[in-house]
């Protein structure tokens, strides 16, 4: 017997539709093989944002805490290319001197 192919979005829609019909959350979660926490997350997303919220979301962060400005990054890369024998301490000194002027 071949495997059944199912999309996550289709399963979430089925889950929400059955929840709308009044089925209990714990029964649905057990049948779909998800935790109740995940079931409530799906249900709340649907209630707040509609059917589009059931799509998979990106896990990529929308900001990076330690990211330096692009201009500074380019300056450091250029300095390293110009002086390949220099290490981080010398390049840091070069960058701090340049930023003071």
pLDDT one-digit tens code per residue, 29-44: 999 999 999 999 999 9
CA distances from 36 to 16, 40, 43, 71, 86 (A): 13, 6, 10, 47, 56
**Per-residue pLDDT at 3 exceeds 60:** no
Lowest mean pLDDT among 28-32, 35-39, 57-61, 89-93: 57-61
Mean pLDDT within 48-71 = 87
């Amino acid at each position: 017997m071949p495997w059944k192919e199912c999309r996550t979005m289709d399963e979430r829609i089925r889950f929400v539709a059955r929840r709308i019909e009044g089925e209990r959350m714990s029964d649905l979660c057990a049948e779909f093989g998800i935790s109740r926490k995940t079931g409530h997350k799906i249900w709340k997303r649907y209630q707040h944002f509609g059917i589009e919220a059931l799509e998979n979301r990106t896990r990529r962060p929308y900001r990076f805490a330690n990211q330096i400005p692009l201009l500074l990054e380019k300056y450091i890369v250029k300095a390293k290319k110009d002086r390949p024998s220099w290490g981080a301490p010398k390049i840091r000194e070069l960058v701090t001197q340049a930023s003071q002027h």
